[in-house]
Amino acid sequence: MIWQFDIILLTLIVLCALFTISIKDLLGAAIMFGAYSFLMCLLWTEMGAVDVAFTEASVGAGVSTILFLAIVHRSTRRVKVRQRGRIFYKGLGLTASLMMGGLLFYASSDFPAWGDPLAPASNHVSPYYLLHTLADTAVPNVVTSVLADYRGFDTMFETSVILTAGLAVLIVLRLDGSRTGGPVRKMARPIAKGYEDTIIRFISRAMAPFLQLFALYVLAHGHHSPGGGFQGGVILGATFILLAISYDLQLVVQTFTEKTALILANIGLLIYSGTGALCLLLGHNFLDYAALAKIIPGATTVTARSDGIMMVEIGVALAVMSIIVIIYTNLVSDGTYEKGL
């Protein structure tokens, strides 16, 4: 921690947050929110939480900004200013946020100091993880082993939350013509030639495979370095968004169809819960990967836990990738898959 750097970061974060909520242009607010996320990412790095920073950079600064842009593109850029009762509502909002902020400030005085070795969290749980991770799971990155092994249940339900979010977007937005009374649209449409830019298209096309390779590296190397299923899945999904923006939405919709995406998302969650159920079948607890040593050739109970983490990370990456593509394609086209950004 370099305190000068921290103060600069915190000032910029507060400024970004204030701009984000006060700007009238929603496009500008989305961009400011991206900057805010990126500064948060720097702050996490500064505090040593590199995995969280990676997630913030890929999800917060990367994909959510694009999703916000898609929403702004499909709705409106300007905030409607309410004229009547403006003072009253503003006063109400100010009072509520002041009370909430005061409450949070009051509660923060009870928190232990940052990195306090006597804090309750650092007393029994964290030391156990830090001391036993390598011996228990053969995974050097403690975050990965906590995320997918010690706290495997949490991550499984996080993945199902992501799947549910994708399904909710699909239910709310998806229009296939049958609901609007119009004719059911054919999926096969030619890729639009309206906006062609050789430079952008070539660079995106040339970079996409390398980005996907990097995503696989992040996914597979999560045992040893920051990264894992969530970040890898988000980067994989982002490559499809890149192609959808630089080419045409049809390219992505036709090659990575809704059906494929939904099947992959469900398979991803199935891999996760199936790994847990497999452990159950082999006579251990749910998600106790040590059981996998009985079926993986040449694995001890320790390396089997590492392999189990790898399996569930692959499931997470599949689910996250497909859900991000589904959310983006639906948001950007109003659920019709006709025309994107």
Partner 1 sequence: MTALIARLLMVAGLFFFFATTIGILRFPDFYSRMHAAGKGDTLSSLLLLSGLALVNLAGAPLTFDNILVSLKIMAILVFIFLASPTATHAIIDAGYASGIEPWQKPGTSKEGDDDLAV
Residue 110: what are its φ and ψ, rounded to 5°? -85, -15
8 near partner 1 (CB under 8 A): no
Phi and psi at 335, nearest 5°, equal 80, 10
Answer for the pair 141, 225: CB distance below 8 angstroms, yes or no.
Answer: yes
Quote the least distance from Cβ 187 to partner 1, whole Å: 28
Sign, CA torsion 222/292/163/210: positive
Please check whether residue 324 is in contact with residue 234, taking contact to mean a CB–CB distance below 8 angstroms.
Answer: yes
Residue from 173, 200, 208, 267 in contact with partner 1 (CB under 8 A): 200
- Cα separation values, 301 from 69, 143, 148, 292, Å: 47, 20, 16, 7
Minimal distance in Å, beta carbon 169 to partner 1?
A: 27
Does residue 2 touch partner 1 according to CB under 8 A?
Answer: no
Which residue lies nearer to partner 1 by CB, 189 or 201?
201
Looking at residue 151, the DSSP 8-state letter turns out to be T
Q: Among 311, 313, 309, which residue's Cα sits nearest to residue 137?
A: 309
47 binds partner 1 per the rule CB under 8 A = no
Does the footprint of partner 1 cover residue 197 (CB under 8 A)?
Answer: yes
* Minimum CB–partner distance for residue 233 and partner 1 (Å): 20
Interaction between residue 282 and partner 1 (CB under 8 A): no
Note whether 121 binds partner 1 by CB under 8 A. no
Residue 30 or 163: the one with the smaller Cβ distance to partner 1 is 30
Residue 172 or 206: which CB sits closer to partner 1? Answer: 206
Q: What residues form DSSP beta bridges with 78? A: 25
* Residue 194 binding partner 1, by CB under 8 A: no
Q: Which of the stretches 14-22, 102-110, 130-138, 192-200 binds partner 1 when contact is defined by CB under 8 A?
A: 192-200
Per CB under 8 A, 12 contacts partner 1: no
Contact 340, 249 (CB under 8 A): yes
**What are the residues binding partner 1 (CB under 8 A)?**
197, 199-200, 203-204, 206-207, 210
